[in-house]
Amino acid sequence: METLVPRSTCHHTTIRIATGCPTEFIDLTARIEALVSQADLRFGFVNIQSLHTTAAIVLNEHEPLLLTDFETLLDRAAPQQAGYRHDDATIRRVNVTADERINGHAHCRALLLGSSVCLNVVDGRLQLGRWQRVFLVELDGPRARDISILMLGEGGR
Amino acid sequence: METLVPRSTCHHTTIRIATGCPTEFIDLTARIEALVSQADLRFGFVNIQSLHTTAAIVLNEHEPLLLTDFETLLDRAAPQQAGYRHDDATIRRVNVTADERINGHAHCRALLLGSSVCLNVVDGRLQLGRWQRVFLVELDGPRARDISILMLGEGGR
Amino acid sequence: METLVPRSTCHHTTIRIATGCPTEFIDLTARIEALVSQADLRFGFVNIQSLHTTAAIVLNEHEPLLLTDFETLLDRAAPQQAGYRHDDATIRRVNVTADERINGHAHCRALLLGSSVCLNVVDGRLQLGRWQRVFLVELDGPRARDISILMLGEGGR
């Protein structure tokens, strides 16, 4: 008889995504599922963390019209033309870079959406409901975006 | 003399909640506390994850009038009648089901609130402030809702 | 030859912050980094959890003008003078305290921002992008605020 002793496991990966539009929803679900499978994680957490202040991580349905509704929602909550002090070069003194963009709206939208999502893994499978998908939300693209993915829990067979 | 060696522990449960209203805040705190106690988790995390795209998990105060204020807030941020493309049967082609509901507003509200909450457990007790309670937020009810709850950390006495 | 056997590690701290304004962003990054270093956490998670219903934890850029933009955003989403039922002493019956404040707006803002952030730690370093900082967001200050910080993962050298 074989005794299965759970062993602690921990894996980390950074993935880079090149976005193509100012606002864009990039479905990461298949990539995350592949990482969980490769890591041989049986039970535990996957924390998916954007390393940016104008890109978010969210869960919702991958239906193209709904993604345009989300864009409308974000534009209502933090309109691009609302006049952000962050974008006022006449008064701004901190964190000014050579390639500074007009992106106060993007920071505000990221604040509302959140930077990371922590998901459960059970019996080797990422826990997602029928319609749930994991998205990187680009809010100030196009840019290269890095996402830190850490898996912690009990491993393998 | 007894030596206390911490041992890694991991438990998972799915709970099902039948909601009764279009918008509803269901207090899960007592259920989560009971699960932590049963799992004998001493130090670690409890990640409470909604498996739906129109139901959220949040922390806040359980005061009935405040919950109606939250409903007003959500209605201001994503009005039910704003005309969502997700609900337009003349153009919608993806993920169409037989029992499709008019629920673009519910997806938008869920996006703002978030799908999961990760809580700390210390010395066997769920860390919650005096007024903090864990809520499932139904945004497109009534429906049956499943919540995945995973606990990971150090067990035992 | 030395064999590096990962050992499970778990540390918890509560930090108290005295805030000075009704709305305030307090940068916790250096404190969190010091805690990760002291805990000798090599790989794992740090979950930073506000123990309050009118104070949030968020990630974004520490640029003073941007923080005023965030305040404007919150005031648009949940205006202070919108007339919250939670603040109506003529109908309120639940959770009434002697030092009750007019703070319906603060609860609504906290609901949108979220109570906690879970961050990855890799090779002993808190994973944060170039501009990312961890903030406690005071929404109903001045007050004394407690933050629960739990670190779980693999320790040591």
For residue range B56-103, list pLDDT tens digits in order. Answer: 999 999 999 999 999 999 999 999 999 999 999 999 999 999 889 999
Label residue B10 by pLDDT band (50, 70, 90): very high
Say if residue A84 is exposed, middle or buried (CB neighbours under 10 Å; 0-12, 13-18, 19+): buried
Label residue A99 by pLDDT band (50, 70, 90): confident
pLDDT at C58: 98
pLDDT at A156: 80
Over residues B136-151, the pLDDT tens digits come to 999 999 999 999 999 9
Determine the distance in angstroms separating the CA of C125 from the nearest CA of chain A, rounded to an integer: 12
DSSP B102: -
pLDDT at B45: 98
For residues A126 and A42, give the distance between their C-alpha atoms in angstroms, rounded to a whole number.
Answer: 9
Substitution target in A7, A45, A48, A49 with the highest count of C β-carbons within 10 Å is: A49
Q: What percent of chain B has pLDDT over 90?
A: 90
Which residues does chain B have within 8 Å of residue A58's beta carbon, measured at their own beta carbons?
111, 114-115
Q: CA B46, B134, C111, A113: dihedral to nearest 10 degrees?
A: 40
Q: Which of B95, B111, B115 sits opposite A63 (nearest CB)?
A: B95
Determine the distance in angstroms separating the CA of B150 from the nearest CA of chain A, rounded to an integer: 6
Q: Which of C10, C51, C95 sits opposite B43 (nearest CB)?
A: C10
CB contact under 8 A, A132 and B52: yes
Q: CA A102, C111, C20, C147: dihedral to nearest 10 degrees?
A: -110
Chain C 15-44, residues with CB within 8 Å of chain B CB atoms: none
Over residues A4-62, the pLDDT tens digits come to 556 789 999 999 999 999 999 999 999 999 999 999 899 999 999 999 999 999 999 99
Determine the distance in angstroms separating the CA of B127 from the nearest CA of chain C, rounded to an integer: 7
Over residues C12-51, the pLDDT tens digits come to 999 999 999 999 999 999 999 999 999 999 999 999 999 9
CA distances from B57 to B49, B90, B111, C115 (A): 7, 32, 11, 11
pLDDT at A20: 98
Over residues C68-113, the pLDDT tens digits come to 999 999 999 999 999 999 999 999 999 999 889 999 999 999 999 9
Buried b (16+ CB within 10 A) or exposed e, C77-109: bbeeeeebbbbeeeebeeeeeeeeeebbbbbbb
pLDDT at C2: 61
Q: What percent of chain B has pLDDT over 70?
A: 96
A47 touching C (Cβ < 8 Å): yes
Instruction: Please report, as a single letter, which amino acid is at residue C30.
Output: A
Closest chain B CA to residue C75:
B73
For residues A88 and A111, give the distance between their C-alpha atoms in angstroms, rounded to a whole number.
Answer: 20
Which chains would you list as touching B if contact means 3+ CB atom pairs under 8 Å?
A: A, C
pLDDT at B48: 98
CB contact under 8 A, C69 and A91: no
For residues B4 and B155, give the distance between their C-alpha atoms in angstroms, rounded to a whole number.
Answer: 11
Q: Which of B8, B88, B149 sits opposite A65 (nearest CB)?
A: B88
3-class DSSP assignment, residue B64: helix
At C108, give phi and psi (nearest 5°): -65, -40
Joined together, the tokens standing for residue B77 give 């941020």
3-class DSSP assignment, residue A65: helix
Over residues A118-130, the pLDDT tens digits come to 999 999 999 999 9
Say if residue C1 is exposed, middle or buried (CB neighbours under 10 Å; 0-12, 13-18, 19+): exposed
Q: How many CA atoms lie within 13 A of A92 on its CB side?
A: 19
pLDDT at C157: 56
Mean pLDDT of B110-115: 98
pLDDT at C8: 86
Taking the CB of residue A46, how many other CB atoms lie within 10 A of it? 25
List of residues 6+ apart from B28 with CB closer than 8 A = B15, B17, B48, B134, B135, B136, B147
pLDDT at A129: 98
CA dihedral over B35, B40, B42, B44, signed as positive or negative: negative
Q: Tell me which residue has tokens 């990966």.
A: A13
Complex ipTM more than 0.90, yes or no? yes
Joined together, the tokens standing for residue C66 give 């941007």
Report the predicted TM-score, pTM, of the whole model to 2 decimal places. Answer: 0.96
C118 touching B (Cβ < 8 Å): yes
Angle subtended at Cα B78 by Cα B72 and Cα B83, rounded to the nearest 5 degrees: 130
B156/C29: higher pLDDT: C29
Joined together, the tokens standing for residue B33 give 């506390």
pLDDT at B7: 79
Give CA A122 to chain center in angstroms: 21
At B138, give phi and psi (nearest 5°): -80, 130
CB contact under 8 A, B132 and C53: yes
Q: Are A148 and A12 in contact (CB under 8 A)?
A: yes
A143 touching C (Cβ < 8 Å): no
Q: What is the mean pLDDT of chain B?
A: 95
Buried b (16+ CB within 10 A) or exposed e, B46-73: bbbbbbbbbbbbbbbbbbebbbebbbbb
A127 touching B (Cβ < 8 Å): yes
